[in-house]
Amino acid sequence: MKETSIAVVCVLLTAGLAMGVPLNPITQSGSVSFTSDLEADKTITLNSFDTTADYGCALGDWAELKSVTVTVTYEGSAAIKGDNDDELKTTTVNGRIIRTWAFTGPGGLAGGGTKDLPTSPVDLAVDDGDGGDFDANAPDGTDFGGPVAFTNEPASGSPYTPITAAYETAGPGTVDLVVDVLAMVNDQQFSTQAPDAWQLEVQDPDLTVRVQLDYEWECVPEPATMGLLLLGGVGMLARRRRSA
């Protein structure tokens, strides 16, 4: 029975050492912003996991990357104002922003998102006499309730768990996530008759894509250290057996 106990303890000790010592994840983040869908792709550059760094592990141990998690969110906004310059037609209208984008990254990482955000409809009177001068004040104008905006929208499929090896480098390195803006629309929609004369003003259009990269890793003892700890555990059990 005692020999069996020693064998069991040896197995458990070896398994425990092989699992390593878990530590807190390494977290980093970055973002890019666009004001127009005519802009070129933009790149978010973050640090790779350096397989040669000790990351605070004990001397002789090494840090092993266990998993990679990429969380992507986006936000958009624009200040949209309108002015009905038709002297005969009233109208009902709402503002709207659309943001469509995509991104790619290492390890088969790919995603993106589309957000179509309309405001509540507003009833506007006929032109109040401002004519060709833009005036967003009532009764024939509106600012659609202030900036049209959304925040913290998750990308389709986020969070992602790409291939771990694609985020490792033997030495300091980086990983790039490339973001492509596909459509940035800032306009109005008429739900009744459209006026024959209308002015639209758009200010501060924005699309911002944010990325958070998390590395889950652990300290793994070198083989010599594991062997010494194992032998120490066996020796302690043997001494207990002799004294029994």
pLDDT digits (tens, 9 = 90+) for 142-182: 999 989 999 999 999 999 999 999 999 999 999 999 999 99
pLDDT tens-place string over residues 28-67? 999 999 999 999 999 999 999 999 998 989 998 999 999 9
Stated as kind and residue range, the H or E segment containing 224 is: helix 223-243
pLDDT per residue as tens digits for the range 191-233: 988 999 999 999 999 999 999 999 999 999 976 444 444 444 4
* SS3 assignment, position 209: strand
Task: Quote the distance between the C-alpha of residue 24 and its chain's center.
Answer: 19
Q: Report d(CA 117, CA 185) in Å as an integer.
A: 10
Neighbours of 176 (CB within 10 A): 12
The reported pLDDT for the residue numbered 132 is 80
Instruction: Give the CA dihedral 79, 212, 103, 99, nearest 10 degrees.
Output: -20
Q: What is the pLDDT of residue 18?
A: 43
pTM over 0.85? The answer is: no
Nearest-angstrom CA–CA distance, 175 and 168: 9
Is the pLDDT at 92 greater than 50, yes or no?
yes
